[in-house]
Amino acid sequence: METHAIDRAEWSKGWPVALSAALAIGLGLSPLPFYTIGVFVGPMSQPIAAGGLGLTPGQIMQALPIYTFAVLLLSPLIGILSEKVGVRRVGIASILLFGLAMMSMALNTGSMLHYALTWVVIAVAGAGTLPITFTKPVSNAFVANRGLALGVSLIATGMFGVCAKLLAQQVTAEFGWRMGYVAVGLMPILIALPLAILAFRDVSDKTASADGTLKLKPFLTGIALAGSVCLSLAALRFAVPAIADKGMRLELLAAVLFSVMALIPALIFFLRRIEAPAGAAGIAGGGPVSLAGKTMQQALKDWRFWLLALAFVPISFALGGPIPNLELILGSKGFDAAEAVGLASLVGLAVIVGRIVGGFLIDRFWAPGVAAVFLSAPAAALWIHAMPQMDHSLAAFAIFMIGFGAGVEYDFMAYLVARYFGTKAYSAIYGALYGFFAIGAGFGPKFFADAVRSGAGLAELLHVAAIALIVCSLSLLLLGRYQTFAVAEAKAAE
């Protein structure tokens, strides 16, 4: 059992890194396409004459396997590139390019080839916004509270994923799906990019005061705050009328909560003073920092690497497959579209709870044991979704459990990489493992979508996924004790 208490000194200096990473990941490639595609399937599948693309829902959902295959190939490369040129450069460039790529979806004309290539561009442009890039500085800035800090850096995927879903729903209803994609693509550029320029820095990067960026703080934080206000208002325009129509349901209250919470990160940056994290170049006196741990080649020879790689394929399949299809699954059980979107928004609340609770616990208890419990528990929710019928309360419980599991899987993977392989080649190792994770998370939605539309086989698929989730989660118990590495923080020669 770990005995780490919350280190306030660590947080007082490291919070800008964790919070800027949270915004970049939360408005990046991992959540935005995943959470919003369910909203766009209906209008995009309309005939071209009616403003759609004339594609079938199955063709539209093929976007996830397409971009997943691209991520599978790119993840190791992004990890290696981040080690070579620095995570700050890779992350900032990727936020901008990803936002532009998402907006380019509005230019589609109905060609399946054009549609597929757009998703490849989105994947290539946004690969640097994955946790591979943005969790490395967090792992370096925090030691005693690394698990909680990683949880915070990953927390925004649920919150901004839900807000983006509601934004897409609202803008699409009023202006069409093309403007919906433009609105979603603007969010990372307006909110995440300015704050990443200001505060996202690894231990060897110059501080904001040293490179002059701190002088731009009012301008950069003002842009981010304005973008956050726009996102919050759009989400509230969906949630508030829904509450008036359907009453004070948990999922709608969660949507309102997320709409308000979306303002908090930019507001914190606007109001608070930014200090350099402990060990940053500005404090250490400048120059690169040598980190302890295994190289990529050493990790590939370690059986623990392959255990994690093989375990997370079915885990990500079982947890990632149902989430983009929740609206379809709920619709097949008699829920109307608005109610299904509202219930699906509970995923965001569950993700936040899972990441905070999971991060807090792995700082204090053996992480594989916590992971085995937290990742296997959603198997019950998959079994519930396999039932022919379920009422509103049971559906809400099952969705919350799936979201809870999805909330902790990224956190656990990042933490386990740091504890079993160190931070010397963190991005490269995490990138390679993320590629395996992407196989399940990307191809899972297509399998579940096909099962729902065919009207047969969904229950069997959910049962198999539940069993695989339990078996693979328990396999993490084989990881054994944490690995220790010699501290090798030496200032490089000038």
The torsion angles phi and psi of 289, rounded to 5 degrees, stand at -115, 135
What pLDDT is attached to residue 290?
54
The percentage of the chain sitting over the pLDDT mark of 70, rounded to a whole number, equals 93
What pLDDT is attached to residue 226?
95
CATH number at residue 403: 1.20.1250.20
Question: In whole angstroms, how far apart are CA 341 and each of 27, 101, 193, 330?
Answer: 19, 25, 28, 9
Segment 33-58, tens digit of pLDDT:
878 888 898 899 889 888 889 888 77
484 in any annotated domain: no
What pLDDT is attached to residue 5?
54
397 in any annotated domain: yes
488 in any annotated domain: no
What pLDDT is attached to residue 4?
53
Please give the residue range of the domain that contains residue 281.
Answer: 8-479
**pTM, entire model:** 0.78
C-beta of residue 33 within 8 angstroms of C-beta of residue 165: no
265 in any annotated domain: yes
Segments of the chain with pLDDT less than 50: 3, 278-288, 488-494
Which residues, at least 6 apart from 276, have a Cβ–Cβ distance to it below 8 Å?
Answer: 13, 201, 207, 208, 209, 282, 283
> How many structural domains is the chain composed of?
1
3 in any annotated domain: no
Segment 433-469, tens digit of pLDDT:
888 888 888 788 878 888 887 777 888 899 999 999 9
Which residues, at least 6 apart from 125, have a Cβ–Cβ distance to it below 8 Å?
Answer: 94, 97, 98, 100, 101
403 in any annotated domain: yes
Environment class of residue 49 by beta-carbon count within 10 Å: exposed (0-12), middle (13-18) or buried (19+)?
exposed
What is the 3-state secondary structure of the chain?
CCCCCCCHHHHHHHHHHHHHHHHHHHCCCCCHHHHHHHHHHHHHCCCHHHCCCCCCHHHHHCHHHHHHHHHHHHHHHHHHHHHHHCHHHHHHHHHHHHHHHHHHHHHCCCCHHHHHHHHHHHHHHHHHHCHHHHCHHHHHHCCCCHHHHHHHHHCHHHHHHHHHHHHHHHHHHHHCHHHHHHHHHHHHHHHHHHHHHHHCCCCCCCCCCCCCHHHHHHHHHHHHHHHHHHHHHHHHHHHHHHHHHHCCCHHHHHHHHHHHHCCHHHHHHHHCCCCCCCCCHHHHCCCCECCCECCHHHHHCCHHHHHHHHHHHHHHHHHHCCHHHHHHHHHHCCCCHHHHHHHHCHHHHHHHHHHHHHHHHHCCCCHHHHHHHHHHCCHHHHHHHCCCCCCHHHHHHHHHHHHHHHHHHHHHHHHHHHHHHECCCHHHHHHHHHHHHHHHHHHHHHHHHHHHHHCCCHHHHHHHHHHHHHHHHHHHHHHCCCCCCCCCCCECCC
485 in any annotated domain: no
What pLDDT is attached to residue 282?
40
What pLDDT is attached to residue 276?
54
